[in-house]
Structure 1
């Protein structure tokens, strides 16, 4: 049976970079955030989000992600409401994806809020990617062209690294790419034995 290895980390930790390193080794990787973005373009999800957040959340009949972010990252209950719409759809999509990868020993499921949603309970092992907060903020500002306060809002809506590390089987400190690559290779050696 194919094992599920969870891969998580706070915003800007570099978990997608790490996911791509696993892909480079031929490991199938499911990137939950990318799939969630695609699912948010489906009519079913658009209707549910519109019902929950109102017509003003739409621009040209599509979900305006910036408007939605400004609402959910300032109010925990609104974020929870959005997660209740998106996460079941992502879970269903992942289960279907997994059926197409049932001949490999393990797959990686990359998800930003793996612990927050309880997704880690469906994983055989969990890898958490960490980096110093200032570096994470810097990376996100560069990547998303956002400001420090909006990055901090998103950080504050996620579990702390310390809390994630306690529940993780492996921890990758992603500061230096060369060292990160070595850590990925070391973890792969262990995973190939499970």
Structure 2
């Protein structure tokens, strides 16, 4: 039985990845959102809370992971971050496998993976779509977020591969620096093309 063709969606902060993922979903493509899955597992009653609390005492409560406390413990500490990732990543991989089983009949599925290139997940997908917008559009979007500062934005960019490098490695680029209907049309055209290619 042919497995679904896997689209890997990625892009730097503020490039409109979540909006584009929703557009793929609206076009009938099942979407696996790794970040949303992590939030669910770390939320109230989430299955990762016990392991995270054991590794980082005081970082969880009835509301789930206390993001600020946990962030303070792992930010800038490579060993602590690796410990957290060793808890989170296998759980996300398991959820992704279950998602694939549940959508085995779909011609296309999409994995929304923020750090697809940085964390080396590009070999797990069949094609890579990068969302991109001009740098000034990205900056305006990010700085409009609550609690975001120039310094935080700079730190995030430091950790991410540059937009130019991502575009160079992409199989397809979706431009989000244009009006939403134009971006939606790009998404629909790509979905139509990929499905047509699969039928050949």
Give yes or no for contact 1:5–1:126 (8 Å, CA) kept in 2. yes
Instruction: Work out the CA distance in 2 between the residues paired with 1:86 and 1:28.
Output: 22
Q: Secondary structure at the match of 2:192?
A: helix
Any idea what the Cα deviations from partners look like across 1:7-41, whole Å, max 9, x if unmatched? Answer: 01111111110011111111111111111111123
Residue aligning to 1:50: 53
Residue aligning to 1:155: 157
Give yes or no for contact 2:7–2:111 (8 Å, CA) kept in 1. yes
Residue aligning to 1:92: 94
Q: Residues 137 and 87 of structure 1: is their aligned pair in 2 closer, same or farther, counting only changes over 3 Å?
A: farther
Out of 4, 10, 13, the residue aligned to residue 11 of structure 1 is: 13
Instruction: Work out the CA distance in 1 between the residues paired with 2:119 and 2:138.
Output: 22
State how 1:16-165 maps to structure 2 within 5 Å: 16-41=18-43, 44-52=47-55, 54-60=56-62, 62-165=64-167
Answering whether residue 193 of structure 2 is matched by residue 190 of structure 1, we say yes
TM, length-normalised to structure 2: 0.84
Instruction: Work out the CA distance in 2 between the residues paired with 1:6 and 1:130.
Output: 14
Q: CA deviation at 1:189?
A: 2.4
Q: CA deviation at 1:131?
A: 2.2
Q: CA deviation at 1:174?
A: 1.2
Q: How many residues get paired?
A: 193
Deviates more, 1:71-80 or 1:17-26: 71-80
Deviates more, 1:76-85 or 1:90-99: 76-85
- Please list every run of 5 or more consecutive structure 2 residues that lacks an aligned counterpart in the other structure: none
What is the root-mean-square deviation in Å for CA atoms of aligned residues? 2.2
Q: Residues 152 and 70 of structure 1: is their aligned pair in 2 closer, same or farther, counting only changes over 3 Å?
A: farther
TM, length-normalised to structure 1: 0.87
Residue aligning to 1:173: 175
